[in-house]
Structures are given as C-alpha cells and as structure tokens.
Amino acid sequence: MDVVIVGAGIGGLTLALFLHRAQIACQVYEAAPRMRPLGVGINILPHASEAFAELGLETSITHVSVLTREAVFFNRFGQLIYREPVGRYAGYDHPQFSVHRGDLQQVLLDAVVERLGPDAIVPGWKCVAIEQDHAGAVAHFESSTTGQSLPPRPAGVIVGCDGLHSAVRRMLHPLEGPPLYSGVNMWRGVTAWQPILSGASMIRAGWLKTGKMVIYPIRDNVDGQGRQLVNWVAELEVPREIQRDWNRQGNIDDFIGAFDGWHFDWLDVPCMIRSTETILEFPMVDQDPLPWWSRGHVTLLGDAAHPMYPRGSNGAGQAILDARALATALRLQDDPVEALKSYEAERLPFTAEVVRMNRRNPPDAILREVFERTGDRPFVRVEDVISERELAALSEGYKRVAGLRPRVARTA
C-alpha cells in the first residue's frame, strides 16, 4: 500500500513519520512552493508530546521550545484567580511544550527528509481533485506557481491533511459552508521580553467581552541576556469576519484600546504589545463536526477533519493523535478501506467532543465564571467568588474530554 498525504502541516508531517515507522510508503504533497515557518506560538500538551516521544522527537523539540511549568489565570485587573502545574510538573510522563509553530514544523520536516528521503515532500503541488474506484484512488494536482496541471498520482490511500480550508474535505462534503465565525477575533505576535512570572508560565487573563490575553514564552534567551521570545494573543468579541490565513497582518489600533489599562506589577501588557514588530490576525472559527470523514480510499486528518477553536491548545495535538491512530489502523489491517473506517470510528467521536467542548467549556471558562460572578469588577478575595474546587473541576473537565491523563490518574 502507498499513501498520498495532501498538506505538509503538523498533521501531514506527523502522519508521514508514523507511516514510515509502520513501514508504509508515503509521499507528502504541499501546495506552498516553499516551506516557510508560518504562524506563531502553539502549545503541545502531554498527550501529543507522548506521540512525539514515540517518534524519537522529544529531544529535538525540547531544543526549540520552552517546557511549560504552570497555567495561570488572572482577571483584567491583574488579580490572580487560579494557578496549576502542567506537563511533567503535574505528574505527566511527557512535557507540555510551548513552541513556535514554524520551529515545530521545521523539526518535523527535518525528520521526514532524514528518515524518508528528500523526495518524500513535494512542494508546489496543489491538490485540486480526487477520483476513486474499488481498486484505489487518484489525486490530481496543479502547480501552485503556474496553475498548470501536473501528472496524476494514484495511491492506495489519500489523506487530506490540508487544514482549515481543506480542498479534500470540500470534495467529500461539497454542500458544507465556509468555517463558522465564533464572534471572537484574535491578534497575535511574538516579542523579545524578560521572563514573566516563572519564565515558563502560560498566562490567560481577562475575558472575551472586554478583552482577553493569552501569553507564554516559546524560546529561551534569544538575545544572550536572558530575554525570551514571548508569544501573546489578544482576543476580543467583535463583529469582524475575515478569512483565516497563517500570515494575515493585523493592525494594533483595532484592539489595543481594550488593553490600555493593563499595567500590572507582573507585566505591562500594552507596553509588551507595542514592542511587537509584526502583528497577525486570525478569526476564531471552527466547523460543526462531520458525520463521516472516510469514503473508500480517501479520508481526512487534523484541521481538515475537525477544525476547532484554539482555546484548549488542542488543534495540533488532536492532529498528532489522528496521525498515530491512522498509521496504526493501516498497519493492522490489510484492507485500506476497512482501516480508514476503524480510524474514523476511533477518532471522529472523540474529536467531535473536543470541538464541542472548545465552544462550551474550554480551560478559559474559569475566566468567564469570574467575569460573570464579579460583574467584571475587581474582587477582594477570590475564594468569595469561586472555590478552589470549582476551579479545579472546570480545568479537569476539559482535560478529561481532550484525553489528558497524568500518571497518578492512570495508575489509580
């Protein structure tokens, strides 16, 4: 059997590595003519780090990331609401990585080229159509630079790993509309800054109605003087619908007003935002879970299968878990059509629940509760607003749905 992977994002590259480990031949076709490190920071939680450890990539990822120590929640007045350890610090066997998406993609690319050879990735080939019969499938491509048709590529299995605006998903589900806007827009940037709090803290502060921030470091000592590359995300409810693109430039004047008063003793937020060179803008979008992903020899993986709001650090993580599950199913079953069915049966209901949880009760629901209970005012004592038990229950509820289980829970 050989597999054509459409898209060399985090999902497609991880799939190539798991297939190689399962001794299944594959090739990755990527629309971009050149692989460039796009995006900003993402967090890889222990369930996905475990998969990377199985691929022998934990050390290379550690070199380009920060091992996150704690998750910390504040209101918009800079008052501490809740703090909990994460990753290894919380008893998981594997760390939580905070990393630049481009750095992670480069680690995966290097591993694919080293293990599968330089021909494993074919840049500049944009998938435009797929045909199939009982014997297999054929992917059709055009050149991203000239628009000319390229030779068709037959395969035993074709996997659409082509992200949020997936062409493969559109071929399978032509009547589905465009991604659904949540009503929240995000502006993001990275800036060199002195370590904040523990120097490995993932900070969430404020709430979407009046402005929410997510802040975490993604690279240590970027200037030889101990400053870190700090990733920040400003989120605001606004009636603004734009197409998501990893590289869309944003404008500081569209959101800085919401954060102007955020001068805390632990961080001057507007000062950090203003010192950022390039600001990118992303609408927070997702899609309703699909009823099915696989037809015959074709299936979907990652954002192409289950785009979700980036509120629980899980989009890439679930793509990585999909990749492991799909390679395992293809290894265990001779009939590829049956293998795609069992992959879907394992992963679709699970990821659909994460999509729904990211809408309803992601980890930042902690901030929503405090915002609503205080009427968006400072508190005197947080325990008069919400108990430690309620806070922990909100956090644990999300982890359960996303599939995060520390060693202590597994051995209990």
Ligand X SMILES: Cc1cc2nc3c(=O)[nH]c(=O)nc-3n(C[C@H](O)[C@H](O)[C@H](O)COP(=O)(O)OP(=O)(O)OC[C@H]3O[C@@H](n4cnc5c(N)ncnc54)[C@H](O)[C@@H]3O)c2cc1C
Pair 61, 367: CB distance under 8 Å: no
Residues 251-290 that bind ligand X (CB under 6 A): 282
Pair 64, 197: CB distance under 8 Å: no
Least distance from ligand X to the Cβ atom of residue 301, Å: 7
Least distance from ligand X to the Cβ atom of residue 112, Å: 13
Site membership for ligand X, residue 182 (CB under 6 A)? no
Residues 121-160 that bind ligand X (CB under 6 A): 126-127
Site membership for ligand X, residue 10 (CB under 6 A)? yes
Residue with smaller CB distance to ligand X, 88 or 100: 100
Q: Which two tokens stand for residue 108?
A: 């995966």
CA-closest candidate to residue 159, choices 175, 149, 171: 171
Site membership for ligand X, residue 250 (CB under 6 A)? no
For residue 233, the SS3 value is: strand
Per DSSP, the residues of 175-203 read T--SPEEEEEEEEEEEEEE---TTTTEEE
Site membership for ligand X, residue 12 (CB under 6 A)? yes
Least distance from ligand X to the Cβ atom of residue 412, Å: 27
Pair 339, 333: CB distance under 8 Å: yes
Residue of the chain from 16, 17, 24, 43 that contacts ligand X (CB under 6 A): 43
d(CA 317, CA 74): 25
Residues 70-109 that bind ligand X (CB under 6 A): 101
Look up residue 409 and give its amino acid.
Answer: A
Residue with smaller CB distance to ligand X, 167 or 267: 167
Least distance from ligand X to the Cβ atom of residue 255, Å: 14
Site membership for ligand X, residue 403 (CB under 6 A)? no
Least distance from ligand X to the Cβ atom of residue 411, Å: 26
Residues 296-335 that bind ligand X (CB under 6 A): 302-304, 310, 313-317, 319
Element (H, E) at 83: strand 80-85
Least distance from ligand X to the Cβ atom of residue 152, Å: 14
**222-241 mask for ligand X (x: CB under 6 A)?**
--------------------
Q: Kindly indicate which of the ranges 26-34, 265-273, 324-332, 352-360 contains the residues binding ligand X, using the contact rule CB under 6 A.
A: 26-34
CA atoms within 13 A on the CB side of 253: 0
Site membership for ligand X, residue 363 (CB under 6 A)? no
Q: Across the chain, which distance is largest between two alpha carbons, in Å?
A: 68
Least distance from ligand X to the Cβ atom of residue 385, Å: 27
Per DSSP, the residues of 53-82 read HHTT-HHHHHHTEEE--EEEEE-TTS-EEE
Least distance from ligand X to the Cβ atom of residue 265, Å: 27
Least distance from ligand X to the Cβ atom of residue 15, Å: 9
Residue with smaller CB distance to ligand X, 97 or 382: 97
CA-closest candidate to residue 210, choices 236, 187, 240, 239: 236
Site membership for ligand X, residue 30 (CB under 6 A)? yes
Question: Could you tell me where the DSSP H helices lie in 82-135?
Answer: 101-116
Burial class (CB in 10 A: 0-12, 13-18, 19+), 366: buried
Can you count the helices (H) and strands (E) in the chain?
A: 11, 18
Site membership for ligand X, residue 348 (CB under 6 A)? no
d(CA 391, CA 84): 10
Least distance from ligand X to the Cβ atom of residue 302, Å: 2
Site membership for ligand X, residue 217 (CB under 6 A)? no
CA atoms within 13 A on the CB side of 123: 10
DSSP 96: P
Q: Kindly indicate which of the ranges 4-12, 148-156, 268-276, 394-402 contains the residues binding ligand X, using the contact rule CB under 6 A.
A: 4-12
Buried b (16+ CB within 10 A) or exposed e, 107-122: bbbebbeeebeeebbb
Residues that bind ligand X (rule: CB under 6 A) add up to a total of 34
Q: Kindly indicate which of the ranges 10-18, 343-351, 362-370, 386-394 contains the residues binding ligand X, using the contact rule CB under 6 A.
A: 10-18
Residue ranges in contact with ligand X by CB under 6 A = 6-12, 29-32, 42-43, 101, 126-127, 161-164, 167, 186, 188, 282, 302-304, 310, 313-317, 319
